[in-house]
C-alpha cells in the first residue's frame, strides 16, 4: 500500500511538474469555456425541456476533451520511463507489477478528474443564474454526469496505459491510444455502424454507445448495464497492461 | 562457513538467436568488491540485470544471500541496491525529494526514510545540493545521486553498472573513493570496460568475453599466474658490451635487451626461462663484478595486458 501511494504521488508530481500537464489543463479549460458559451447560447434561445447536464454532454467540445486529452495524459506513463531507463530502477524495487500498473492508472485518472473540475464550477454558476422553475439543475444529475465522465475517462485511460506499456516512444503511445479511443467514439456516434444494422446488431451498437450511456448519466440515471460496460472494459485493459509489463519475464 | 552473497550457477541468457551469457558460474563472498570486466557487448549488463531481478535467465540459478532471484524476487530486491547503466533518474525532481521517493518505494518507514536520506546525502557529499533539481546537476553529482539511491535502504549487495562512465578525472576519483569505502560493510559488484577502474577499486576481478568468464581471480593472482615469466628490469652502472657478455653466461636467461641509459648506467631487460625469478641472480652478478645496481624490478603488467592476453588467447582457440 505504501508503495502504491508513493507511486501515485509520484505520477501526479510527474503530471504537475511537466509542461504537458499544464498544456492539458489549459486546453481543457479553453474547451470547457467554449462549451459553457455554447450552453448559454442554447439556453438563451428556444426553451429546452431536457436538464442542462444533457446539454453539456451533447456539445462537440465535451467529446473533444475526452478524446483529445486522455491519450496525451497517458502517453508518458510507461513509455517515458522505458525511454529514460527509470523503468529499470522502478522494476528492481520490491514493488509488484500490479501495484505499478494500478498506480500508473490511478495517477492518470486523478489528474484527469482534476482537469475536469471546472465543469462543476461552471454548472454551479449556471445554476445560480437560471430560472429554477423553467430549467432546473438537479444535483443528482450533476453527480451522475460527473460519474459518467470519470467512467469514460477511466476506460480511455486504461486503453492509453495499455498503449503506453507497449512502446518506449511517447508519440507512438499517444497515436495508438488515440486510435483505440477514436474507434470506440466513432462506434458510439454510429459513424462506423453499418446503416442496415437491425435487430440484435442494432441493440448491440446501442449497448456499447457512449452517447447513450451519457444520456442516462446526464438524466441522473445509473444503469447497472452501463456501469458494468465501463468497469469490465477498464479492468480488461488494465489486465492486458499487467500482462505486457509481466511479459519481460517470459522472454 | 557463511554462505556467499552471490552464487551464480550455470547461468545462460539467450535472446532469440544470440547467446548473451553462456554457462557462467561464479561466487562473491560478503564484503568483497568485485569487478566485472569486459569489452562492450560481453554480457556484463545482462548478468547484472539478471542478478538485480529485472530479467529472468534462460537457464541456471542465481542466489543472492541464499534467496533465489526468480522465486523470491521481493526478498532479493530488498537486499539489493542497483544502479543501471547510464544511471537513469527522474530529472525534474529535486535530490532530496527523489531519494525520499525511492526510500519510500523500497518500503522504509517515514522516520527511517528521513534518517537514511540524511545519512546517504552526507555519505555521498550531496548535502549542499539536496534542494537542487537533478536535471541541472553536473554528471558527477548525478552519478552520486544514483549511488545514494542504491544505498538508501542499506542493502547487503550493491550492483553498479558502469558507475564511472563519462566522468572527469576529479569526479572519477571521488566516485571511486566512495565505492571503495563501501567495501567491508556492503558487497559490491560493479561492471566496467575501463581497466584501471578495477585495479583501483576491486579486490577481485571476473574477466568476461562473449558471454563467458575467461578468468576469475584477485588482481594480484592474475598478474602472477598469467605473467610468471615476466621480464626483470635492472639498471646497472656498466658498459653495454660487458653487460651483454655477463648475461650470456647465465643460462636461465632466455632473452636479453640492453640499452644505454643516462650517465654511466645501462638499462637491461631480461626475460627468464621457465618462469624463474631472475632478481637474486642479477643481484649476485652485479655483486661479483662490483657493479653499482640502481634499480631492480620485475615488470608489473597492467590489467590491460592481462585482458588483451586473455581475450586474444580465446580468439586463437576459436
Of the segments A237-241, B118-122, B156-160, which one has the largest average pLDDT value? Answer: A237-241
Residue B31: per-residue pLDDT = 85
Residue B106: per-residue pLDDT = 92
Q: What percent of chain A has pLDDT over 90?
A: 47
* Contact between B105 and A88 using a beta-carbon 8 Å cutoff: no
Report phi then psi at B205, rounded to 5.
-135, 140
A180 vs B73, more confident = A180
d(CA B138, CA A244): 35
Report phi then psi at B184, rounded to 5.
90, -65
* Contact between A2 and B90 using a beta-carbon 8 Å cutoff: no
Cα dihedral B248, B253, B256, B258, rounded to 10, equals -70
A225 CB near a chain B CB, below 8 Å? no
Does the interface predicted TM-score (ipTM) exceed 0.95?
no
The reported pTM is 0.83
Question: How many other C-beta atoms lie within 10 A of the C-beta of residue A185?
Answer: 19
* Contact between B55 and A248 using a beta-carbon 8 Å cutoff: yes
Confirm if A220 and A141 have CB atoms less than 8 A apart: yes
The alpha carbon of residue A202 and the mean position of all alpha carbons in its chain are separated, in whole angstroms, by 25
B317 band by pLDDT with thresholds 50, 70 and 90: very low
Residue A156: per-residue pLDDT = 95
Which of A49, A33, A103, A41 lies closest to A245 in space, CA to CA? A103
Residues of chain B in contact with residue A251, where contact means CB-CB under 8 angstroms, are: 15, 55-56
Question: How many other C-beta atoms lie within 10 A of the C-beta of residue A9?
Answer: 15
Nearest residue of A to residue B74, measured between CA atoms: A94
Q: What is the DSSP string of chain B?
A: -PPPSEEEEEEEEE-SS-EEEEEEEEEE-TT-EEEEE--TTSSHHHHHHHHTTSS--SEEEEEETTEETTTTHHHHHHHEEEE-TT----TTSBHHHHHHHHHHHTT--HHHHHHHHHHHHHHTT-GGGTTSBGGGS-HHHHHHHHHHHHHTT--SEEEEESTTTT--HHHHHHHHHHHHHHBTTBEEEEEES-HHHHHHH-SEEEEEETTEEEEEEEHHHHHHHHTTT--EEEEEES-HHHHHHHHHH-TTEEEEEEEE-STTEEEEEEEESTT---HHHHHHHHHHHT-EEEEEEEPPPPHHHHHHHHHHHHHHH-
Confirm if B150 and B72 have CB atoms less than 8 A apart: no
- Secondary structure class of A92 (helix, strand, coil): coil
Mean pLDDT of A29-33: 91
Question: Mean pLDDT over all residues of chain B?
Answer: 84
Contacts of B45 (CB under 8 A, 6+ apart): B84, B85, B161, B162, B191
Question: How many other C-beta atoms lie within 10 A of the C-beta of residue B270?
Answer: 22
Q: A184-223 pLDDT, tens per residue?
A: 888 888 766 767 767 787 788 888 888 888 888 888 888 8
Nearest residue of A to residue B152, measured between CA atoms: A93
* Contact between B89 and A86 using a beta-carbon 8 Å cutoff: yes
A246 CB near a chain B CB, below 8 Å? no
Nearest residue of A to residue B56, measured between CA atoms: A249
Q: B105-125 pLDDT, tens per residue?
A: 998 999 999 999 999 999 888
- Residue in A3, A13, A87 closest to B107 by CB: A3
d(CA B109, CA B123): 20
Residue B223: per-residue pLDDT = 66
Residues of chain B in contact with residue A84, where contact means CB-CB under 8 angstroms, are: 88, 90-91
B316 band by pLDDT with thresholds 50, 70 and 90: very low
Confirm if B191 and B162 have CB atoms less than 8 A apart: yes
Nearest residue of A to residue B110, measured between CA atoms: A2
Residue A10: per-residue pLDDT = 93
* Contact between B80 and A92 using a beta-carbon 8 Å cutoff: yes
Q: Which of B90, B113, B153, B156 to mutate to test the interface with A (most CBs of A within 10 A)?
A: B90
Amino acid at each position: 500500500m505504501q508503495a502504491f501511494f508513493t507511486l501515485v504521488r509520484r505520477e501526479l508530481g510527474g503530471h504537475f511538474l511537466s509542461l504537458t500537464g499544464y498544456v492539458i489543463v489549459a486546453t481543457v479549460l479553453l474547451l470547457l469555456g467554449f462549451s459553457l458559451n455554447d450552453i448559454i447560447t442554447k439556453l438563451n434561445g428556444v426553451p429546452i425541456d431536457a436538464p442542462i447536464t444533457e446539454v453539456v454532454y451533447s456539445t462537440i467540445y465535451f467529446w473533444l476533451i475526452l478524446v483529445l486529452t486522455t491519450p496525451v495524459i497517458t502517453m508518458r506513463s510507461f513509455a517515458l520511463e522505458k525511454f529514460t531507463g527509470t523503468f529499470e530502477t522502478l522494476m528492481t524495487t520490491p514493488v509488484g507489477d500490479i501495484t505499478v500498473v494500478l498506480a500508473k492508472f490511478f495517477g492518470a485518472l486523478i489528474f484527469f478528474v482534476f482537469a475536469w473540475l471546472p465543469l462543476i464550477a461552471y454548472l454551479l454558476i449556471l445554476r445560480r443564474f437560471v430560472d429554477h422553475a423553467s430549467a432546473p439543475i438537479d444535483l443528482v444529475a450533476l453527480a451522475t454526469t460527473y460519474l459518467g465522465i470519470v467512467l469514460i475517462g477511466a476506460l480511455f485511460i486504461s486503453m492509453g496505459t495499455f498503449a503506453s506499456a507497449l512502446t518506449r516512444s511517447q508519440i507512438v503511445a499517444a497515436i495508438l491510444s488515440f486510435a483505440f479511443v477514436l474507434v470506440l467514439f466513432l462506434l458510439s456516434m454510429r459513424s462506423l455502424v453499418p446503416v442496415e444494422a437491425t435487430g440484435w446488431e442494432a441493440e448491440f451498437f446501442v449497448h456499447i454507445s457512449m452517447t447513450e450511456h451519457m444520456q442516462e448519466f446526464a438524466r441522473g440515471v445509473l444503469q447497472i448495464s452501463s456501469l458494468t460496460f465501463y468497469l469490465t472494459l477498464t479492468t480488461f485493459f488494465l489486465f492486458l497492461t499487467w500482462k505486457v509489463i509481466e511479459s519481460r519475464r517470459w522472454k | 562457513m557463511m554462505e556467499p552473497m552471490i552464487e551464480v550457477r550455470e547461468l545462460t541468457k539467450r535472446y532469440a538467436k544470440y547467446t548473451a551469457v553462456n554457462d557462467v558460474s561464479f561466487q562473491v563472498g560478503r564484503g568483497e568488491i568485485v569487478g566485472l570486466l569486459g569489452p562492450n557487448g560481453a554480457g556484463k549488463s545482462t548478468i547484472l540485470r539478471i542478478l538485480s531481478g529485472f530479467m529472468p535467465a534462460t537457464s541456471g540459478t542465481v542466489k543472492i544471500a541464499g534467496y533465489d532471484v526468480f522465486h523470491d524476487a521481493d526478498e532479493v530486491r530488498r537486499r539489493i541496491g542497483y544502479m543501471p547503466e547510464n544511471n537513469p533518474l527522474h530529472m525534474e525532481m529535486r535530490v532530496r525529494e527523489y531519494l525520499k521517493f525511492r526510500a519510500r518505494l523500497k518500503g522504509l518507514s517515514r522516520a527511517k526514510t528521513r534518517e537514511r536520506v540524511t545519512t546517504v546525502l552526507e555519505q555521498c557529499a550531496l548535502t549542499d545540493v539536496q534542494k537542487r533539481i537533478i536535471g541541472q546537476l553536473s554528471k558527477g553529482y548525478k552519478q552520486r545521486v544514483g549511488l545514494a539511491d542504491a544505498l538508501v535502504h542499506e542493502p547487503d549487495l550493491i550492483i553498479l553498472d558502469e558507475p564511472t562512465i563519462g566522468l572527469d578525472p576529479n569526479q572519477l576519483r571521488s566516485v571511486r573513493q566512495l565505492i571503495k569505502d563501501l567495501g567491508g560493510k556492503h558487497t559490491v559488484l560493479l561492471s566496467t570496460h575501463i581497466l584501471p577502474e578495477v585495479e583501483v577499486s576491486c579486490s577481485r576481478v571476473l574477466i568476461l568475453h562473449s558471454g563467458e568468464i575467461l578468468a576469475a581471480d584477485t588482481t594480484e593472482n592474475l598478474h602472477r599466474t598469467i605473467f610468471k615469466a615476466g621480464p626483470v628490469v635492472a639498471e646497472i652502472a656498466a658498459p653495454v658490451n660487458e653487460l651483454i657478455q655477463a648475461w650470456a653466461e647465465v643460462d636461465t636467461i632466455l632473452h636479453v635487451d640492453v640499452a644505454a641509459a643516462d650517465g654511466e648506467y645501462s638499462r637491461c631487460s631480461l626475460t627468464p626461462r621457465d618462469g624463474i625469478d631472475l632478481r637474486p641472480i642479477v643481484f649476485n652478478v652485479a655483486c661479483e663484478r662490483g657493479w653499482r645496481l640502481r634499480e631492480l624490478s620485475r615488470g608489473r603488467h597492467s590489467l590491460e595486458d592481462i585482458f588483451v592476453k586473455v581475450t586474444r588467447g580465446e580468439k586463437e582457440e576459436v
